[in-house]
Amino acid sequence: MVNPVTELTNAELTALKVELEAEYSEYASRNLALNMARGKPAGKLLDHNTDVLKTLDNPFAEDGTDARNYGILEGLPEMRRFFGEVLNLDPERIIVGGNSSLTLMYDSIARLMMFGTCGNPAWRTLPKLKFLCPSPGYDRHFAITQEFGIEMIAVPMTENGPDMDVVEELAANDEAVKGIWCVPLYSNPQGVCYSDETVARLGKMKTAAKDFKIFWDNAYGVHHIYEEVKLADIFAACEAGGNPDRAYYFFSTSKITFPGAGVAMMAASFAERKEILKRMGIQTIGSDKLNQLRTLRTLKDAPTLKKHMAELADILRPKFDIVLNTLESELSEGKYASWITPRGGYFVSLDTLDGCAKKTLELAKNAGVTMTGAGATFPYKNDPRDRNIRIAPTYPTDEELQTAMKLFCVCVKLAAVKKLCGEF
């Protein structure tokens, strides 16, 4: 039985530091060059999608539309039907986009800023704008909010999603609070799945702003790894709460087929969708329908997609096992860090001792392993306790990951010991 590191004597800490520094030096001498900064799929995952690359023999949609030509702003009917089937959404809520759901989110914020929706004033005309940012969260969401000058309010996460008491309090009492970012299934980075109660409360809560928007980024909606968690229907929750226009739903095949060439979509209430399409029709004549056909003819239908995702999970699971087993064996007994075991998604999120995240990542980087920057998972890159680290295990090979995780754990421990020794 090892004592928690925080309970060690000074002499024990000093001895441990010498030991860890030796271990660290050994890794540093190997000239590693591993990048785990982003949630990029490994080549092995991409190789599972060769059909998307094959000849598109028939460039016509099922209703005879020539997918090579202009038109069909909302996306091909069969593509919308596919997304509807997979996500249990009415296809009439869906708009198919280009290769990036991030763009659909950015453009949605941009439209709200410039024009507003449903008769409400354009956000740019209001004196102050705020957004609720469950944290740790996704850095690219925060970057969009910051870009548009919207103040970000960090909201703590619980194992059931954002702390709804905090969310309700902030939304109800401040009309400057205009929305919330949500990754409701296998959240980035913690892998938290929103409970049915959380979804219901988001749909029905009182908001001071009449045009409060839930940005529902279901990026990992079919990315089950250990277990398939069911997500409650956000549109049903909003309707039940008397707020039918509250949610914008986003999804893409970026991590199903290809990150650079997937098909993105958004869904909204019928009233919102009508307004969005009208504005979107000024911005584009339509997204790439050939890629819709390519993607659809590979993924086919919900059962085929399910099988495909199970195959991808078989490649991802060993990577997550490496991460979780290494964390457990290296950091658990000494209580160097805490983490949640995700059931799916793309990340593992770890909390070091307070004040140790930056140092840990600096040590890792100096030994050749680049990870997501410290603070990235918080608004303004400001992790108030400097402890959260996002581990992105999907890109390296299993062998690289094994090495990187061992080194990483040495860094977590060494940073903790240095901190406790008062070195920084």
Q: Which of 103, 158, 160, 370 binds a copy of itself (CB under 8 A)?
A: 103
Tell me: does residue 102 bind a copy of itself (CB under 8 A). yes
- Scanning 27-35, 283-291, 316-324, 385-393 for contacts with a copy of itself by CB under 8 A, the matching segment is 283-291
Burial class (CB in 10 A: 0-12, 13-18, 19+), 9: exposed
d(CA 32, CA 208): 52
Q: Is 69 in the site for a copy of itself (CB under 8 A)?
A: yes
Give dist(CA 182, CA 127) in Å, integer: 25
Q: Is 133 in the site for a copy of itself (CB under 8 A)?
A: no
Please enumerate in sequence order all residues whose Cβ is within 8 A of that of 368, keeping only pairs 6 or more positions apart, or say none.
27, 28, 30, 31, 32, 33, 34, 407
- Pick the closer one to a copy of itself by CB: 150 or 164: 150
Does 99 sit near a copy of itself (CB under 8 A)?
A: yes
3-state secondary structure of 194: coil
| Residue 384: CB atoms within 10 Å | 11
Spatial separation of the C-alpha atoms in residues 218 and 186, rounded to whole Å: 9
What does residue 97 show for φ and ψ, rounded to 5 degrees? -105, -155
φ/ψ of residue 66, rounded to 5: -80, 105
Kindly tell me which residue out of 117, 287, 349, 388 binds a copy of itself, with binding defined by CB under 8 A: 287
- Residue placing its CB nearer to a copy of itself in the complex, 9 or 55: 55
To a copy of itself, the closest distance from the beta carbon of 368 in angstroms equals 20
Q: Which stretch binds a copy of itself (CB under 8 A): 53-61, 170-178, 304-312, 314-322?
A: 53-61
What span, in angstroms and rounded, lies between the C-alpha atoms of 57 and 338? 52
Q: Which is nearer to a copy of itself, 41 or 203 (CB)?
A: 41
Asked if 32 contacts 369 with a C-beta cutoff of 8 angstroms, the reply is yes
Q: Does 49 bind a copy of itself (CB under 8 A)?
A: yes
Q: Please identify which residue in 290, 325, 366, 423 interacts with a copy of itself, judged by CB under 8 A.
A: 290
Total residues interacting with a copy of itself, rule: CB under 8 A:
51
311 near a copy of itself, rule: CB under 8 A: no
199 or 376: whose CB is closer to a copy of itself? 376
For residue 295, the tally of other CB atoms under 10 A from its CB is 24
Q: Is residue 424 within the footprint of a copy of itself (CB under 8 A)? A: no
Torsion sign, CA atoms 92, 98, 102, 105 = negative
In whole angstroms, the minimum distance from the beta carbon of 59 to a copy of itself comes to 6
Choosing from 53, 236, 240, 421, the residue that interacts with a copy of itself (CB under 8 A) is 53
Residue 261 interacts with a copy of itself (CB under 8 A): yes or no? yes
* Separation of alpha carbons 102 and 90, rounded Å: 22
Q: Pick one of 55, 159, 230, 422: the residue that binds a copy of itself (CB under 8 A).
A: 55
Tell me if 279 contacts a copy of itself by CB under 8 A.
yes
If one asks whether residue 259 binds a copy of itself (CB under 8 A), the answer comes out as yes
Residue 38 binds to a copy of itself (criterion: CB under 8 A): yes
Verify cis geometry, omega within 30 degrees of 0, for the bond prior to 189. yes
Decide if residue 291 touches a copy of itself (CB under 8 A).
yes
Residue 11 or 33 with smaller CB distance to a copy of itself:
33
**Minimum Å distance from CB 114 to a copy of itself?**
7
Burial 272-291 (b: 16+ CB within 10 A, else e): bbebbeeebeeeeebbbbeb
Told to check if 204 binds a copy of itself by CB under 8 A, we report no
**CA–CA separation, 196 vs 234, rounded Å?**
9
In the complex, what is the shortest distance from the CB of residue 394 to a copy of itself, in angstroms, rounded to a whole number?
11
* Among 84, 79, 112, residue whose Cα is nearest residue 98: 79
Q: Judged by CB under 8 A, does residue 380 bind a copy of itself?
A: no
Rounded (10°) CA dihedral 360, 365, 369, 371: 60
Residues of the shown chain interacting with a copy of itself in the complex, contacts defined by CB under 8 A: 38, 40-41, 43, 46, 49, 53-57, 59, 66-72, 98-100, 102-103, 106-107, 110, 113-114, 124, 140, 143-144, 147-148, 254, 258-261, 279, 282-291
